[in-house]
């Protein structure tokens, strides 16, 4: 059993309204905990303080433990990807970073595709294979999103209707490579094309447009379902 002791110290010398919580768990600390609780029961009424006892909910403890495990899983994947893609990262062809939406592996356009094309370059396949190796081992139980992005330059010399079609086709090309050659289960995969509408840099410069033309492979954190209390 987990016991939470909350002491409201609104009037003890400093009168700060500070609240302190002490978490005691069964085991070798039990006797120390009981002695501390007894002392507080005796002293608290004299100082005008309030003591509240409540039983810690097992579901909360289990949820915190699970979230820590999931974060650790993504951190391990990040370190492994950084090792496998160290050459590409050093050449600024690939970036691996932990974002709010998950663990994101970003490939700049020219690493994967020729200009205006959606077919993967032959020399890009080995790079994607390095990613597949991690997707199939370290995070084998997590879902993967593939996002295609472009700059804001209108389509001129290709058959694509707009940047939406181009970004979507590129995302699908990477998705099929991860499935067909990388062995990632199709039910784990999803692809989406954002066109020019998720820019990460200004499109006013060539350097900014280069950063915006990219494909992101996102390792999604698991959805934590609310457990009935």
Reported as a single tens digit per residue, the pLDDT across 125-171 is 999 999 999 999 999 999 999 999 999 999 988 889 999 999 999 99
The class level of CATH for 68-219 reads alpha beta
Q: What percent of the chain has pLDDT over 70?
A: 66
pLDDT at 41: 56
- Could you tell me which residues come within 8 angstroms of residue 68 by beta carbon, excluding any fewer than 6 positions away? none
Of 19-33, 76-90, 160-174, the one with minimum mean pLDDT is: 19-33
**C-alpha distances out from residue 17 to 7, 42, 43, 45, 46, Å:** 10, 20, 17, 16, 16
Residue 181 has pLDDT above 70, yes or no: yes
Which residues on adjacent β-strands are paired with residue 8?
19, 50
Model-level pTM? 0.69
Residue 33 has pLDDT above 80, yes or no: no
Positive or negative, the Cα torsion across 74, 75, 79, 80? negative
| Inter-axis angle of helices 125-135 and 163-180, nearest 10 | 60
Structural domain boundaries of the chain? 2-56, 68-219
Q: Name which of 6, 13, 19 is nearest 46 in CA terms.
A: 13
Q: What percent of the chain has pLDDT over 90?
A: 63
């Amino acid at each position: 059993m987990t016991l939470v002791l909350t002491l409201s110290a609104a009037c003890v010398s400093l009168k700060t309204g500070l609240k302190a919580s002490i978490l005691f768990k069964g085991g070798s600390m039990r006797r120390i905990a009981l002695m501390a609780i007894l002392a507080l029961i005796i002293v608290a009424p004299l100082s005008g303080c309030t003591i509240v006892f409540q039983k810690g909910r097992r579901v909360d403890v289990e949820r915190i433990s699970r979230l820590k495990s999931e974060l650790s899983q993504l951190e391990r994947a990040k370190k492994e990807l950084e090792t496998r893609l160290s050459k590409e990262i050093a050449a600024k062809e690939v970036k691996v970073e932990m974002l709010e939406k998950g663990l994101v592996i970003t490939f700049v356009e020219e690493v994967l595709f020729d200009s205006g094309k959606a077919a993967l370059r032959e020399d890009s396949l080995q790079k994607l294979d390095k990613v597949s190796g991690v997707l199939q081992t370290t995070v084998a139980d997590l879902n993967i999103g593939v996002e295609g992005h472009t700059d804001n330059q209108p389509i001129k010399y290709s058959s694509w209707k707009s940047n939406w079609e181009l970004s979507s086709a590129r995302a699908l090309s990477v998705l099929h490579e991860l499935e067909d050659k990388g062995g990632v289960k199709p039910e784990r995969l999803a692809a989406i094309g954002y066109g020019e509408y998720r820019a990460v840099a200004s499109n006013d410069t060539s350097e900014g447009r280069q950063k915006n033309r990219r494909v992101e492979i996102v390792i999604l954190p698991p959805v934590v379902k609310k457990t009935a209390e």
